[in-house]
Structure 1
Amino acid sequence: MISLNAAKVFFGSNHPLFKTMDIDIASIDNGKAEMTMPFSMQLSDHRGALHRGALVTLLDTTSGLAIFSALQTLQPIATIDLRIDYLRSIPAGVGVRAVVDCIATTATVAFIVGKALAEGQDEPVAMVAGSFAIDTMGPSFDSPHLAQAGAAK
């Protein structure tokens, strides 16, 4: 089982992208994951709202975490298809939360569905659905080699 602490080590401040975006894990359990990203002027659009590209990164990352939770390992995965439907604008000056479920896996593919919500709102700003290749080329994210490299930085 992937623990919240183990996930926070990988997705935490050692990872330059997640550190820059201040992405945090809210919960992880049995194929479900929730991550948050606070508002940042550096990641905002012309309206002063989080840029949709930042939201895509959050949804893709949360999808991966949900899959890791379902597989109960940090084996390599890769995004095959990620569909995001924008339902409404992200309000200016607020962060977002992504909630994703891994709804099925085969030997080679995992499938997710989820949503993104603006901070303090119950109605989603976007919906996500996608598929990810399982056990792709490359080292496992929980391999000792990567753990040592992360600790050395």
Structure 2
Amino acid sequence: MAKSFFGASHPLFNTLGVEVEEICGGKAVMTICHQKFLTGRNGSMHRGVIVTLLDTNCGLAIFSKLGDMRAIATIDLRVDFIAEAVSGDSVSSEVECYAIKNDIAYVRGRAINNRDDRLLATVSGSFAVGTLGPGFDSSMQ
């Protein structure tokens, strides 16, 4: 269910060209291909696109750790940019949900330039689990 929700059937991700590569045991990998409309003035992928990719992948990693898709909400999200994406290259996001304690999920991960595996950004954050927001499904399939 999660792969189809976050994959091509999701209108935003379909437009952005996001591909879900892996979901397993609290870890998730997503890739976004370079498209001209996703670039900043310098021709590299816009940082806002990378933040969106990382934030969404944090949610997917949490769902994978929980085993279901209950509502979550971002408490804190930190993204540190290390380098710019190379113009024309795709970017992957690798995120791990490494702990859930007292309805708080903790994540960490990175964005990398796919052509040369160069680190572009790191992410860390915490999310409230079981919030009053919308749930997506009762199980991860």
Q: Into which bin does the TM-score normalised by the smaller protein fall?
A: over 0.9
Deviation at 1:8, TM superposition (A): 2.0
Are 1:122 and 2:117 an aligned pair? yes
Task: Name the amino acid aligned to 2:4.
Answer: V
Could you say which residue in structure 1 is the equivalent of 2:9? Answer: 14
Q: Percent identity?
A: 46
1:117 CA drift (Å): 0.3
CA displacement at 1:107 relative to structure 2:
2.7
* Greater mean alpha carbon deviation, residues 31-40 or residues 132-141: 132-141
Higher strand proportion = 2
Q: Which has the higher contact order (CA 8 A, sep 6+)?
A: 2
Supply the distance in 1 between the matched residues of 2:77 and 2:12 (Cα, whole angstroms): 19
Q: Where does residue 148 of structure 1 map in the other structure? A: none
Report how many aligned residue pairs link the two structures.
Answer: 139
> Residues 90-136 of structure 1, C-alpha deviation per residue, up to 9 Å, x if partnerless?
11111100000001101311000000001222231101100111011
Paired with 1:99 and 1:12, the residues of 2 have a C-alpha distance of 16
Regions of 4+ moved over 4 Å: none
How big is the alpha-carbon RMSD for the aligned residues of Structure 1 and Structure 2?
1.4
Structure label with greater radius of gyration? 1
Tell whether 2:79 aligns with 1:84.
yes
Structure 1 counterpart of 2:133:
138
1:110 is aligned, of 67, 90, 105, to 105
Alpha-carbon distance in 2 for matches of 1:129, 1:121: 23
Question: CA separation in 2, counterparts of 1:33 and 1:13?
Answer: 16
Q: Which amino acid aligns with 2:112?
A: L
- How big is the shift at 1:80? 1.0
Classify the secondary structure of the residue corresponding to 1:61.
Answer: helix
Whole-angstrom CA distance in 2 between matches of 1:81 and 1:139: 19
Q: Does 1:57 align with 2:31?
A: no
The aligned residue for residue 147 of structure 1 is none
The residue matched to 1:57 in structure 2 has which SS? helix
Aligned pair 1:70/2:65, yes or no? yes
Task: State the TM-score, normalizing by the size of structure 2.
Answer: 0.93
